[in-house]
A and B are shown apart, each in its own frame.
Chain A
C-alpha cells in the first residue's frame, strides 16, 4: 500500500495523470465519435432522407423556430431545464425513417458532447464563477494540475464543483444540438431554400448556407474514402487492434485538406451552374411549390409558446441562469 501511495505521489506519476486527464477530455469524445458513430454515421446524421412521419410534414420554418426556442430556453434557464429538453427531444428521432439507427447515433453524439463540453469548461472555470453558481460551499479539490498548466488557461486546481458546473453547462449545448440536427435530417435543401426566401433572407446568404449544409455529408464521405486509402497504404500497419481508432482519427485529420480541395474544385462547377440558371437575377425568387403549414405546425407552435412561457416562469421563480450574461 505504501508503495502504491509513494508511486501515486511521485511527481512523474502526477505529471502522467495530469496529461492523461488533459487528453481524456479531448480524446474520449473524438474516439467515441469515430469508434461508435463513424464517418458513415455522420453522413446519416447530416443528410435529409425522405420520410412520412409528422416531423417531415412540418413546415421548415416551424422547425427553425423550435430550434431557436430550445436554444433560447436552454441558454437562459437553469441547467436541468436544458437537460430535460435534451432528453425530451431525443426520442423524437425514433419517429424518423431509420429511426432506431438515427436515435443511437444521436444518443452517442449527445454523450460525446456532454463529456467534451464538460471537459472544455471545468478546468477553465475560475472560483469567482463557481462562487455565483455554488455560493457558500466548500469546494472539493479533485486534482491539482502542474503549475505550468496555467499557461494553457487552466485553473491551478480542478474542483468537483467545476466538473458539475461543466456538466450542467453542457446541457445547453446538447439541447441546441439535438433540435438543430432534427431540422437537418427532416428538411430538404429545396424546402429550406423556399422558406428562407419567403422570410427574406438574402439569396447569397441562403445559397452559401445551404450549399454548406448539402456539402456536410459529402465531406464525411470523402474523409471516409481518404482514411481507408491511408489505411490501405499502411496507416496503423502492425499496430495493435485496440489503438487503430487513434490512427483512424489521425487519418481523418490528415484527410481534411485534400477533401476540402476536392470540394472547392466542385464548388466552381456548382457556382457556374447556378449563375447560368439566373441565380440572383432578382433579389427574390418565386416558387413552384408552396411549403404549407399543417396541423402539426400549429401543435408545434403551441409547444414553442409553451417553451417561451416556461422560460419566463422559470426566470420569475428563480430558475434562470446562475450567472447572468454580461452586458445583457
Chain B
C-alpha cells in the first residue's frame, strides 16, 4: 500500500530556540491506516501534526529540516489551503474553532473558500453533516450546541473539504462523556471506511480499537512506533512518559493475561469531622421560570467530593449559586448556605469568598497582577489579612516561592493553575469549589493536580470538584455526587457510582475489565 505520509530525518526548531523541539528519524502512515500519537503535553505531538498540515512553518515560524511528504506534497512548499484538500485538521477546543452563526454556515465555510458552486457546496454540506451526525442541526445556532455537537460540527466542517486524511488533535479533551462517546462513534465510522487517520488522544484504551499503530513521543523524540497489539509490552514506558495507562495493561504485561485481574480502588478518606459546608440551592430562569437547579449538598471537613453529570445538568450553576455569582439578569436563586454552622446566605460575595474559594474553568482571567506574589497577596490585602510570613508560607505550599517575581500570565499552564489556586486560598477560605479543573489536560497534569489537592486536604482543606474525568475521580476523590436535570441523583463512593449503569457516568475501564474479565466491553 502507498504511504500517505512520509517523514525522514525531521528536525523542527522554533524561532529563538537553540535546539530542535522535535526530532523524528522516520515516521510514515499508509493510506487507509489509523495511527494514534500519545505523549504528555509539550512532548512534541502537536509539533508533528502541525508540520504535516503545514501550519508549521506557514503559520507558526520554525526551521523545519528533513524530508516530508503528505500525499506527495511537501507541506513547506505547499500553501495550507492546497494541503487542506489532502489532510484535514480538527483541534482540541471546538468553541475556539468555530466562527459562523449556524451549523450550516460553519460547514459551508471551507467549500465557500474553495470558490465551489452553490450546488457543490450544498452537496458537501449535506454529506459531511450526515456523516458527522449533525444533519438535523443544520439550522441551529452554534452557541446553542453542546460540546459534543459542536465538535461534530467542527469535524463536519473539516470533512466538507473532502480531505483524504484526517488529523484529530485531542478531539475529546474539552467535552463531556456523552459528547466523547459521540466522537468515538465517529472515529469508529472513519475506521470502517478506511480513512487515513492520525489521532492524538489521551484516552488511550478507548481509542485503541480504532487504530493500527501507536506512536509515543516524549521530550521531542519519537520513542516508539508499534502495532497496537504490542502496546501492552510497552505499557511501562508509556507510564513513565506520563501517558494515561490503564492499570490492567501493566497487569497484562506482568502476567500475560487478564484472567486473574481484579481492580482494587484506592482507599477512600472517610471524614468524621464537622460539616463545613451545607448548601440548599434552587435556581430558576427569570423569564421562563424553569428550574435549572434544585439541589442540597453537604461537605465534611477534609473531603474531596466530585460533582459529575453531563453538560447542562446544572453543576456549574450550582457552584456559582453557592458563591453568589450567578447571572442575576437571567437567573434567580434561593440559596441557604451554611459554613461551619454560620448562615452566610445573606453575605456579600466578598464575604463568601473569605469562607469558600472558587476556581473557574478559565482561571487565567483572574490573574490580574503582574507578579505571582502580588497575585497571591491580592486577597490577603483586600481582606486585611496580609502578613509576609503567611504569604511566603502559601507560596512555598504551592511551590511558587522561586517564581514569586514572575508574571503569572507568562507561566506554564500547571504553574498558572497553582497561582490561581494559591490566590483563592489566600483569602482564608477552607472550602474550595473547582469548575472542571481537569478539562483539556493530559494525565501528567491531572495527576499533579490530584496530588496537590490531596496534600491540601491533609492541611485541612475541603474540595468540591466539577469534573467529567472518572479516572481522576477514582484516583483522588472520596465521594461522588451525580447531577441530572438540576438534581442530585446519586451520592456515594466512586466505586459505588461507577458500578451503576443508570447514571450515564463512564467508569474508568479498570472497572469494566474487572467486571467482564476481558477487553471486549462497549464504551
The chain A residues found within 8 Å of chain B, CB to CB, are 38, 40-41, 48, 50, 188-191, 193, 210-211, 214, 222, 225-226, 228-238, 251, 254-255, 257-259, 261-262, 265-266, 269-282, 284-289
Task: Please give me the residue from chain B that is nearest to A233 by CB atom.
Answer: B379
Cβ < 8 Å to A, chain B residues 342-356 = 349-354
What distance in Å separates the Cβ of B292 from its nearest Cβ neighbour in chain A? 17
Find out whether the CB atom of B115 lies under 8 angstroms from the CB atom of A284. yes
A residues near B117, Cβ cutoff 8 Å: 286
What distance in Å separates the Cβ of A101 from its nearest Cβ neighbour in chain B? 8
Residue of A40, A188, A266 near B93 (CB, 8 A) is A266
Find out whether the CB atom of B80 lies under 8 angstroms from the CB atom of A276. yes
Find out whether the CB atom of B99 lies under 8 angstroms from the CB atom of A211. yes
Query: B507 on the interface (CB 8 Å rule)?
Result: no
B residues near A188, Cβ cutoff 8 Å: 100-102, 105
B residues near A286, Cβ cutoff 8 Å: 111-112, 115-118, 121
Residue of A257, A270, A278 near B113 (CB, 8 A) is A278
Find out whether the CB atom of B364 lies under 8 angstroms from the CB atom of A258. yes
Give 10 A-B pairs besides A41-B329, A257-B368, A261-B364 with Cβ atoms closer than 8 angstroms: A190-B105, A210-B99, A225-B360, A235-B350, A237-B351, A258-B409, A272-B55, A275-B59, A288-B104, A289-B108
B residues near A231, Cβ cutoff 8 Å: 349-350, 353
What distance in Å separates the Cβ of B59 from its nearest Cβ neighbour in chain A? 6
Find out whether the CB atom of A234 lies under 8 angstroms from the CB atom of B379. yes
B residues near A269, Cβ cutoff 8 Å: 91-93, 96-97
B residues near A287, Cβ cutoff 8 Å: 112, 118, 121
Cβ < 8 Å to A, chain B residues 66-87 = 79-85
A residues near B141, Cβ cutoff 8 Å: 50
Residue of A233, A255, A274, A279 near B365 (CB, 8 A) is A255
Query: B357 on the interface (CB 8 Å rule)?
Result: yes
- A55–B214 alpha-carbon span in the complex (Å): 55
Interface size class of B (residues with CB under 8 A): 35 or more
Interface of A is mostly: helix
- A235–B382 alpha-carbon span in the complex (Å): 6
What distance in Å separates the Cβ of A109 from its nearest Cβ neighbour in chain B? 15
Find out whether the CB atom of B382 lies under 8 angstroms from the CB atom of A233. yes
- A277–B98 alpha-carbon span in the complex (Å): 11
What are the 10 tightest A-B residue pairs by CB atom distance, in nearest-first order? A234-B382, A232-B353, A281-B81, A277-B110, A188-B101, A278-B81, A233-B379, A229-B366, A190-B105, A273-B97
Find out whether the CB atom of B100 lies under 8 angstroms from the CB atom of A190. yes
With most chain B CB atoms within 10 A of its CB, the pick from A279, A285, A286 is: A286
Find out whether the CB atom of B325 lies under 8 angstroms from the CB atom of A255. no
Find out whether the CB atom of B362 lies under 8 angstroms from the CB atom of A222. yes
Given contacts A190-B105, A225-B360, A269-B91, A281 and B115 within 8 Å (CB-CB): yes
B residues near A282, Cβ cutoff 8 Å: 113-115
Query: B26 on the interface (CB 8 Å rule)?
Result: no
Residue of B350, B358, B378 near A236 (CB, 8 A) is B350
B residues near A236, Cβ cutoff 8 Å: 350, 382
B residues near A273, Cβ cutoff 8 Å: 89, 91, 96-99, 154
Chain B 314-333, CB-CB to A under 8 Å as 1, else 0, gives 00000000010101011000
Find out whether the CB atom of A254 lies under 8 angstroms from the CB atom of B368. yes
Given contacts A188-B101, A285-B113, A233 and B89 within 8 Å (CB-CB): no
**A–B pairs, 26, beta carbons within 8 Å:** A40-B329, A48-B101, A50-B141, A188-B100, A190-B105, A226-B365, A226-B368, A229-B360, A229-B366, A230-B366, A230-B378, A233-B366, A234-B353, A234-B354, A237-B353, A237-B382, A254-B368, A269-B92, A272-B91, A276-B84, A277-B84, A281-B82, A282-B113, A286-B111, A286-B121, A288-B118
- A281–B278 alpha-carbon span in the complex (Å): 58
What distance in Å separates the Cβ of B252 from its nearest Cβ neighbour in chain A? 37
Find out whether the CB atom of A276 lies under 8 angstroms from the CB atom of B360. no
A residues near B85, Cβ cutoff 8 Å: 278
Find out whether the CB atom of A258 lies under 8 angstroms from the CB atom of B424. no
- A259–B367 alpha-carbon span in the complex (Å): 9
- A28–B338 alpha-carbon span in the complex (Å): 38
Task: Please give me the residue from chain A that is nearest to B105 by CB atom.
Answer: A190
Query: B438 on the interface (CB 8 Å rule)?
Result: no
- A226–B358 alpha-carbon span in the complex (Å): 12
B residues near A237, Cβ cutoff 8 Å: 350-351, 353-354, 382-384
B residues near A210, Cβ cutoff 8 Å: 99
